[in-house]
Amino acid sequence: MDMPLPDPSILSRKARIVDRLRAILPHDAVIDAPAETRAYDCDALTAYRCQPLAAVLPRTTAEVSAILRLCHEEGVPVVPRGSGTSLAGGALPTADCVILGVARMNGVLETDYANRFIRVQAGRTNLSVTGAVEADGFFYAPDPSSQLACAIGGNIAMNSGGAHCLKYGVTTNNLLGVTIVLMDGSVLQIGGAHLDPGGLDLLGVICGSEGQLGVVTEGTLRILPKPEGARPVLIGFSSNEVAGTCVSDIIKAGVLPVAIEFMDRPCIRACEAFAKAGYPDCEALLIVEVEGSDAEIDEQLALIRAIALRHDPVEFRESRSEEESKRIWLGRKSAFGAMGQINDYICLDGTIPVSALPHVLSRIGEMSRSYGLDVANVFHAGDGNMHPLILFDANKPGDLELSEALGADILKLCVEVGGCLTGEHGVGVEKRDLMPVQFTPDDMEAQMRVKDVFDPQWLLNPAKVFPLGATSARRGA
Amino acid sequence: MMTLRPADEAELSALLRGRTGPLRVIGGATRVLWFGGAADLLDCTALSGITLYEPGALTLVAGAGTPLAEVERVLAAEGQRLPFEVPDLRGLLGTAGVSTLGGVVAANASGPRRLQAGACRDSLIGLRFVDGTGMAVKTGGRVMKNVTGYDLVKLLAGSHGTLGVLTEVSFKLLPVPGASATLVLRGLDDASAVQAMAAALGSPFEVTGAAHWPGEGTFLRIEGFADSVAYRSGRLARLLAPFGSADMLDGDDTARQWQAIRDVAPFHDRPGDVWKLSVKPSDAPGLVARLAADAVLYDWGGGLVWVRTAPGADLRARLGPFEGHATLIRADAPVTAVFQPQPAPLAALAAALRRKFDPRGILNPGLMG
């Protein structure tokens, strides 16, 4: 993958830039020794690495502002970083950049149950937001798989989703306001405890802009009362097509489960071997979870059972206890870990219209055979967000490139059937060069104009989201 | 003054490419005040028609000029709906046009269910627009989860035609629940009503509407399967017992009551200016006390306040600084800006975005600042 050449004039000024950063930050907030900056050379897309010029770890919005103002003056690119869990290379450094990590900014600033929001610093982890309010019966809904580690700032940058967004939406639907610092150091408050910020929806375009418009330092998040209970059911089918039709029928029937997860046979087998969750050995498996009181759950599950039985399932297992619920989720939640045990893998993230599910699964099967690489499928079926896992051997020369080519073909297929390249992981560097598959030059031009307004010198999180060829004129400006 | 009515996106694009004079962009012209002076009308109603509806995927795509009523009818036949309960403001504003989907999106128009199901922009999953230079742009798509590129969908929703003219919009939908009911608490003052609504919204019983109509009552709506509605409304009534005993409205009365709240019926055929405030719910009663209003109606648990005042009063001056914003919805004369002026740094960003997308300043000039 191509990255722009580092600017030699910046590299030659490293000592001066680091000295200036030290002058405005506490001593322990600036890291420049190569042995230490190595910790920031990649995110969760570990195939690509590059050591940054330096890394800074501010504790306050004022420090973030001072850092950005200085880097703006020096013309130094800045790569914002939450917890470094991006699967798309969203926090991949360039050699001439300063990594701005918000991990030390992890406080809760305000909790307000009457108005149902929490205000946190951007480095706070997703799960610990819920942790701060759950004793009082509330939770923060978006729940990416990495929620134990990932930071709210990263969630806002990537507009993260999760397994439960069929009912609760993704980050942008649960974000009320931000404090954001622009590249020139100016600090803006957008939105807050009221609904719908006035004027143009800047909050909406900042969320999901992959850290390219500004550095979010605080977020005001909507919190919700916890449901009385939740219960999953596991349904096994003898074909992917039938499982796909069942998903569509459940949705059409007016039930709105909080989650509908789908696993195919390669994934079921790997998870079973790894987690021993007691899954049936079948072609396709659905986990459907509904919420409410016991009686409400019974009512919804009865409806789901009636729909499922029309499709002749090989297994219909309803949880009757907390323990059984955990076992049903166990395999699904350990899917990525299970795959990691048996192979190296690339995790894709395309979304397709739910109606295209059977067609896409059968095409992925054909592609997998023609490339000679196994693909396991696990995904959020209710909203069509697929996570095909392409298994390869990192020690085998050419295998990574081959699996990337297969991944690109699968994502092109997603776009071809009316879907998109990425449902919740973001474009980053990973899917940057595929953007023209989904967008015309004019579509991308419109997006890049927004970047022009927020960051005219194109210094924030460079070489991400848009193909390098499309941005070269702007980056050189 | 001329009315221009492009037949399709290509015609619209050609029109805007060659245009130099100001345009007032309209669908049915049913929602927003216009004090912008003389401008030709750009009528978008020819960009009409549902292009895709997949009930099994909860997805609808339609031309921006498609009448809202047509969409609602088609969805109802499949037991589905737009989640955000679009207000019909014709009774309030005395307008008579046909509301269009594009107009709904341009105004980010959201009704009582906004507090649970999100605003119009939260259900909007994609759109096409033509900017002020004539460039046609697609953003988002027809799938619910999509983080590919910047989310211009949100930026365009609520931009009131100032960044571009919408040509096509895509929504995610929700099934219409089988049953609904409304609890009514009577005789609460504004402050107690907001507290009661906060208690209800902080409960796990999934309230989908929370409004306070002074003099009429405090209304809390529950929707879902029949048994579940009965169970939750019972539990909610017990939870709210400290605020008094609740009356219960059945499904038909619930529909009527919430339509009245959604459309601000208490202000129909009553004189005076009308404002809409978006505030932190618990701040609402205190802010209302500063207003010397003729009447108010609280929705969204207090987060939305409809205010009726004597004509010509500058409500923002009476409010002073507060967290939120006030929009002028109905007035005979331009008392002040329709939309709340933003803090300088945000206003500068918004102005810069408008210059990028509409460099000649021809699209609804002056409407948003």
Any B CB within 8 A of A418 CB:
yes
Q: Which amino acid is at A104?
A: R
pLDDT at A477 over 70: no
pLDDT exceeds 80 at position A324: yes
Question: Is A209–B150 a contact, with Cβ atoms under 8 angstroms apart?
Answer: yes
For residue A109, report the phi and psi dihedrals to the nearest 5 degrees: -95, -30
Rounded-to-integer distance, Cα B335 and Cα B315, Å: 9
Interface contact A424-B54, CB threshold 8 A: no
Q: Cβ of B278 and A198 within 8 Å?
A: yes
B37: pLDDT confidence band, cut at 50, 70 and 90? confident
ipTM over 0.85: yes
Question: Looking at beta carbons, which residues of chain A come within 8 Å of B127?
Answer: none
Verify whether the Cβ–Cβ distance A201 to B59 is below 8 Å.
no
> Which 3-state string (H, E, C) describes chain B?
CCEECCCCHHHHHHHHHCCCCCEEEECCCCCCCCCCCCCEEEECCCCCCEEEEEHHHCEEEEECCCEHHHHHHHHHHCCEECCCCCCCCHHHHCCCCCCEHHHHHHCCCCCCCHHHHCCHHHHEEEEEEEECCCCEEEEECCCCCCCCCCCHHHHHCCCCCCCEEEEEEEEECEECCCEEEEEEECCCCHHHHHHHHHHHHCCCCCEEEEEEECCCEEEEEEEECHHHHHHHHHHHHHHCHHHCCCEEECHHHHHHHHHHHHCCHHHCCCCCEEEEEEECHHHHHHHHHCCCCCEEEEEHHHCEEEEEECCCCCHHHHHCCCCEEEEEEECCCCCCCCCCCCCHHHHHHHHHHHHHHCCCCCECCCCCC
Q: Does A256 lie in the same domain as A182?
A: no
Residue B175 with chain A: CB contacts under 8 Å = 251-256
Say yes or no: A134 contacts chain B, CB-CB below 8 A: no
Q: In this complex, is the C-beta atom of B359 within 8 Å of any C-beta atom belonging to chain A?
A: no
Domain limit, last residue, from A298, A318, A335: A335
Let me know the angle formed at the C-alpha of A410 by A408 and A413, rounded to the nearest 5 degrees: 110
Counting residues of chain A whose pLDDT is more than 70, the rounded percentage is: 100
Which residues of chain B are within 8 Å of residue A189 when distances are taken between CB atoms? Answer: 343
Lowest mean pLDDT among A288-302, A331-345, A458-472, B101-115: A331-345
B108 touches chain A (CB under 8 A): yes
Chain B contact present for A261, CB below 8 A:
no
Residue-wise pLDDT tens digits, A407-431: 999 999 999 999 999 999 999 999 9
pLDDT digits (tens, 9 = 90+) for A363-402: 999 999 999 999 999 888 888 999 999 999 999 999 999 9
pLDDT tens for A242-262 read 998 899 889 888 888 999 999
Domain that holds residue A391: 343-416
Buried b (16+ CB within 10 A) or exposed e, B18-31: ebeebbbbbbbbbb
Euclidean distance between CA atoms B284 and B280, whole angstroms: 7
B115, B175, B353: residue with CB nearest A256: B175
We report the CATH number of the domain holding residue A201 as: 3.30.465.10
For residues A32-45, give the mean pLDDT: 96
The mean pLDDT value for A297-309 works out to 94
Q: Is there a single domain that holds both residue A383 and residue A286?
A: no
Residue B298 pairs in a beta bridge with B212, B305
User: Using H for helix, E for strand and C for coil, what is the string for chain A?
Assistant: CCCCCCCHHHHHCHHHHHHHHHHHCCHHHEECCHHHHHHHCCCCCCCCCCCCCEEECCCCHHHHHHHHHHHHHHCCCEEEECCCCCCCCCCCCCCCCEEEECCCCCCEEEEECCCCEEEEECCCEHHHHHHHHHHHCEECCCCCCCCCCCEHHHHHHHCCCCCCHHHHCCHHHHEEEEEEECCCCCEEEEECCCCCCCCCCHHHHHCCCCCCCCEEEEEEEECEECCCCEEEEEEEECCHHHHHHHHHHHHHCCCCCCEEEEEEHHHHHHHHHHHCCCCCCCCEEEEEEEECCHHHHHHHHHHHHHHHHCCCCCEEEECCCHHHHHHHHHHHHCHHHHHHHHCEEEECCCECCHHHHHHHHHHHHHHHHHHCCCEEEEEEHHHCEEEEEEEECCCCCCHHHHHHHHHHHHHHHHHHCCCECCCCCCCCCCCHHHHHHHCCHHHHHHHHHHHHHHCCCCCECCCCCCCHHHHHHHHHC
Residues A112 and A216 in one domain: yes
Residue A414 to residue A297: CA distance in whole angstroms: 34
**Residue A69 sits in the same domain as residue A122:** no
A9-30 pLDDT, tens digit each:
999 999 999 999 999 999 999 9
Instruction: Say how far residue B185 (Cα) sits from the centre of its chain.
Output: 26
Residue A467 domain flag: no
Confidence band, pLDDT 50/70/90 cuts, at residue B293: very high
Q: Is the pLDDT of residue B86 over 60?
A: yes
The shortest CB-CB distance from A194 to any of B231, B280, B368 is to: B280
Looking at residues A447-469, what average pLDDT do you find?
Answer: 97
| Residue A238 touches chain B, beta carbons under 8 Å | no
* Residue A271 confidence (pLDDT): 87
The alpha carbon of residue A370 and the mean position of all alpha carbons in its chain are separated, in whole angstroms, by: 29
Query: What phi-psi label fits residue A199: left (phi over 0), alpha (psi between -120 and 50 degrees) or beta?
Result: left
Location of each CATH 3.30.465.10 domain in chain B: 3-175
The CA distance from B279 to the nearest CA of chain A, in Å, is 5
Q: Quick: pLDDT tens for A80-93.
A: 999 999 999 999 99
Nearest of A376, A301, A365 to residue A334 by alpha carbon: A376
Are residues A47 and A74 both part of a single domain?
A: yes
Nearest by CB: B346 against A190, A380, A423: A190
* Partner-chain residue, chosen from A198, A226, A380, that has the shortest CB–CB distance to B340: A198
Domain endpoint, select from A156, A190, A225? A225
What integer best gives the mean pLDDT of chain A? 94
Please, which pLDDT band fits residue A339 given cuts at 50, 70 and 90? Answer: confident
CB-CB neighbors (< 8 A) of A166 in chain B: 144
A108-137: average pLDDT: 98
Question: Are B50 and B62 within 8 A, CB to CB?
Answer: yes
A419 and B143: CB-CB below 8 Å?
yes
How many domains does one find in chain A?
A: 4
Assign residue A95 the CATH number of its domain. 3.30.43.10
The CATH T-level fold of domain B179-262 is Alpha-Beta Plaits (3.30.70)
Q: Is it the case that residue A164 has pLDDT exceeding 90? A: no
In this structure, are A215 and A257 located in the same domain? no
> Which residue of B114, B135, B142 is in closest CB contact with A195?
B114
Q: Does A302 have pLDDT greater than 60?
A: yes
Distance CA A422, CA A351 (A): 6
Q: How far is B247 from chain A (nearest CA, A)?
A: 23
Which residue ranges does chain B devote to CATH 3.30.70.2860?
179-262
- In the predicted structure, residue B127 carries a pLDDT above the cut 60: yes
If asked whether residues A98 and A183 sit together in one domain, one would say no
Residue B176 has pLDDT above 70, yes or no: yes
Q: For residue B146, what pLDDT is reported? A: 96
Whether A3 is in a domain gets the answer no
Does residue A435 sit at the B interface (CB-CB below 8 Å)?
Answer: yes
Task: Select from 3.20.20.70, 3.30.465.10, 3.40.30.10, 3.40.640.10 the CATH code of B3-175.
Answer: 3.30.465.10
Residues 220-259 of B with CB under 8 A from A: 224-225, 227-228, 231-232
Q: How crowded is residue B182: how many other Cβ atoms within 10 Å of its Cβ?
A: 27
Q: Which of A194, A207, A248, A379 to mutate to test the interface with B (most CBs of B within 10 A)?
A: A194
- Greatest alpha-carbon pair distance for chain B in Å reads 65
Asked if the C-beta of B217 comes within 8 angstroms of chain A's C-beta atoms, the answer is: no
Which of A50, A84, A103 represents a domain boundary (last residue)?
A103
Nearest CA in chain B to A173: B122
- CA–CA min distance A344, chain B (Å): 25
If asked whether residues A236 and A314 sit together in one domain, one would say yes
According to the model, what pLDDT value does residue B177 have? 92
In a domain, A473, yes or no: no
Q: Does A173 contact B at CB distance below 8 Å?
A: yes
- B-chain residues near A208 (CB < 8 A): 147, 150-151
A46 interface with B at CB cutoff 8 Å? no
- Of the listed ranges A350-354, A357-361, A364-368, A372-376, the least confidently predicted one is A357-361
> In this complex, do A420 and B148 lie within 8 Å of one another by their Cβ atoms?
yes
The reply to whether A461 falls in a domain is no
CATH classification of the domain holding A272: 3.30.70.3450
